[in-house]
């Protein structure tokens, strides 16, 4: 298969959808189509005037390099599609990325801000950044974000990225009073029951796969935190897991149970990782994030769970189950690494401990 990765962009999406047999992969977060000479050439011709296509990760079939082809057919030929910008905008974007890296922003934040800025700057291809005003941002919000029905979180990401971009590149501050921010929706976290978590984990036969998903739930980890763990981060004497450089560049600890420690020992003896606790096919390299998502997807199918579960559901479930077991909210905040207690308080809205004690008047009719 030929796999296409690019930042969110309706113009590119419209062009890609016109390619024959092109399909969106929700799991791999990319567009893919049959890898034939004709479709490959058609793809290049279609995107030629819209974007720069980076083919550095495309496998050369003529070399018969079968080792380069991974277990996932989606990765056989991967092309990164980067929407084109005018030279000034491209240079300023690179300057902004360098600033974010020097300030030690996380790779996810850099990617999110870059995607948002690239989308915004392509909306004004003829304007220099110095000419862009608050009115242009409001117009972009109304004629692009709302018209394309993008989420309120994406709208906030654009505003945050633009405020920092103009402060760094143009040395000017946008007036926050004139920028339209969306009203934040109060969305409850998705949670699995203890029975569903047990069913999910017991459906996994692979020792490594079970250990990964079990540790996410057992310590309330983000998926990115799991993938950068190293064996020395497990302190079995103190029964804690040390999470280094987590969100916000903060370290924290989470309690380990004897059951998860025993499971990790079994895994370690079987796989003997070199550097990271969980490594992929290449020794010394962390396990791939997309592959971890596939592990969850396969486990859900085996367990017969039809809910659209993501890896973050396990973190939400961990926090909710702690709360229902009587754990103080302050401790849960520390374990999860939340900067504000208000973030942790959302789990009180999905905990069923108190709600189940309420007797419905319907039963007394």
Catalytic positions are: 222, 247, 312, 315, 338, 347
Yes or no: say if 44 and 51 are a contact pair by the CB < 8 Å rule. no
Rounded Cα–Cα distance for residues 125 and 31 (Å): 26
Yes or no: say if 134 and 181 are a contact pair by the CB < 8 Å rule. no
In sign, the C-alpha dihedral spanning 7, 296, 219, 269 is negative
Structure tokens at 52: 């720069």
Residue by residue, DSSP assigns 72-135 as SGGGSEEEEEEE---HHHHHHHHHHHHHHHHTT--HHHHHHHHHHHHHHHHH-TTS-GGG--HH
Q: Give Rg (Cα) of the chain.
A: 23
Q: State the DSSP code for 339.
A: S
- Strand (E) or helix (H) holding 53: strand 51-54
Q: Phi/psi of residue 224, each to 5°?
A: -65, -35
């Amino acid at each position: 298969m030929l796999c296409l990765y690019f930042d969110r962009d309706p113009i590119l999406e419209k062009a890609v959808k016109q390619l024959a047999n092109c399909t969106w992969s929700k799991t791999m977060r990319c567009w893919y189509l049959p890898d034939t000479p004709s479709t490959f050439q058609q793809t290049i011709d279609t995107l030629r005037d819209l974007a720069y296509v980076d083919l550095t990760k495309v496998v050369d079939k003529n070399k018969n390099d079968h080792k380069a082809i991974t277990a996932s057919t989606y990765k056989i030929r991967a092309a990164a599609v980067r929407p084109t910008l005018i030279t000034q905008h491209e240079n300023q974007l690179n300057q902004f990325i360098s600033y974010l890296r020097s300030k030690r922003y996380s790779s996810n934040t850099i990617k999110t801000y870059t995607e948002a800025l690239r989308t915004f700057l392509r909306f004004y291809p003829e304007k220099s950044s110095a000419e862009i005003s608050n009115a242009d941002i409001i117009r972009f919000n109304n004629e692009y974000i709302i018209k394309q029905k993008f989420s309120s979180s994406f709208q906030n990401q654009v505003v945050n990225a633009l405020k920092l971009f103009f402060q760094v590149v143009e040395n000017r501050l946008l007036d926050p009073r004139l920028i339209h921010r969306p009203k934040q929706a109060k969305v409850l976290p998705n949670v699995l029951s203890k029975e569903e978590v047990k069913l999910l984990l017991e459906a996994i036969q692979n020792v490594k796969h079970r250990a990964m998903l079990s540790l996410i739930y057992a310590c309330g980890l983000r998926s990115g935190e799991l993938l950068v763990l190293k064996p020395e981060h497990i302190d079995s004497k103190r029964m804690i897991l040390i999470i280094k450089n987590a969100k916000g560049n903060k370290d924290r600890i989470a309690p380990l149970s004897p059951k998860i420690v025993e499971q990790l020992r079994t895994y370690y003896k079987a796989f003997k990782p070199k550097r990271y606790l969980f490594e992929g096919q290449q020794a010394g390299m962390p396990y791939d994030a997309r592959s971890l998502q596939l592990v969850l997807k396969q486990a859900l199918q085996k367990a017969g769970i039809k809910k659209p579960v993501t890896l973050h559901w396990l973190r939400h479930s961990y926090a909710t189950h702690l709360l229902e077991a009587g754990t103080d909210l302050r401790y849960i905040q520390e374990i999860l690494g939340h900067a504000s207690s208000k973030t942790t308080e959302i789990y009180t809205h999905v905990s069923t401990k108190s709600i189940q004690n309420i007797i419905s008047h319907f039963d007394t009719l």
